[in-house]
Amino acid sequence: MAVVELHIPSNLFDSAKAENSFESVSERISKAFIKDILNELNVRRGDDKINEPDYMVNKKGYEVTFAVDSKIIQLLKGVKELDDSLQNIEEELIKAISEATERKANKNYSCISNLVIITISTMPTWYIIPNLSKECNLIKKYWDIIYKTRNNLFEKLYRQYIALNTFENIYIIQPTFDGKFALFNIKDFAINKNNFLTIVTSSNTRMFPTYKLIDAETPEEIKSLKIKIVNYKINK
């Protein structure tokens, strides 16, 4: 089992208020992700009066959402104590991503938007790419099985939302266990299943939800489906 510490921005789940120009912490994080992780400049807030998505870059729209399991929100708000209930996270992560995508797909936009899904859960087997060139067929088949659940989700997202022009593209941003971010490009996945993942480093990590690896007895434990959050710290 890999043991990690989760660092989160202060007031992450607070609502927008007049004193912050009605821009919540999560909205500011979303804007920063578009700038830092997607490398877009001149990002402005969309005008909801004319049905623009959350953010615009010239004529390109970005609708942003957090895919967060309700148990994690309760945990981070202090409603629930830290325990072992979040060790197996893949099922909850897929459910949260699917629900967030469907929720945003039901909105009316002034243009075909790109959907940016930010997750707080980290799933190492989604972004660790082993070198299989010298491995036996049995090991390769093992990793095919590991990737199958993730790939099924990505294929579904492409088929139901991108191919039907609900969204121009879907990006999934996931914190890694070592303070970086995995950026999954769903349209690229549909085109080339070997070139759709980018590991991104940001100098502004205190603004984003990030993980710090505390302990893992073997490298294989990092690749396992079991991750235990032992503590979380709020970035002031």
Residue ranges per structural domain of the chain: 2-235
User: Which tops the pLDDT comparison, 137 or 127?
Assistant: 127
Average pLDDT (34-61) is 92
Q: What percent of the chain has pLDDT over 90?
A: 37
The torsion angles phi and psi of 190, rounded to 5 degrees, stand at -65, -30
Model confidence over 150-175: pLDDT tens digits?
A: 999 999 999 999 999 999 999 999 99
Alpha-carbon dihedral sign for residues 94, 96, 100, 102? positive
**pLDDT > 70: percent of the chain:** 71
What's the first-to-final CA gap in the chain, in angstroms? 29
pLDDT reading at 64 higher than 80: yes
* The CA-based dihedral angle spanning residues 232, 147, 187, 171, taken in that order and rounded to the nearest 10 degrees: 0
Location of structure tokens 């909105």 = 107
Min mean pLDDT across 48-62, 84-98, 157-171 is at: 84-98
Q: pLDDT tens for residues 107-119?
A: 999 999 999 999 9
Lowest mean pLDDT among 14-23, 58-67, 116-125, 205-214: 14-23
pLDDT band at 21 (very low <50, low <70, confident <90, very high): low
Q: DSSP secondary structure string, 209-220?
A: -EEEEEE-SSHH
What is the maximum alpha-carbon separation in the chain? Answer: 60
Average model confidence (pLDDT) for the chain? 79
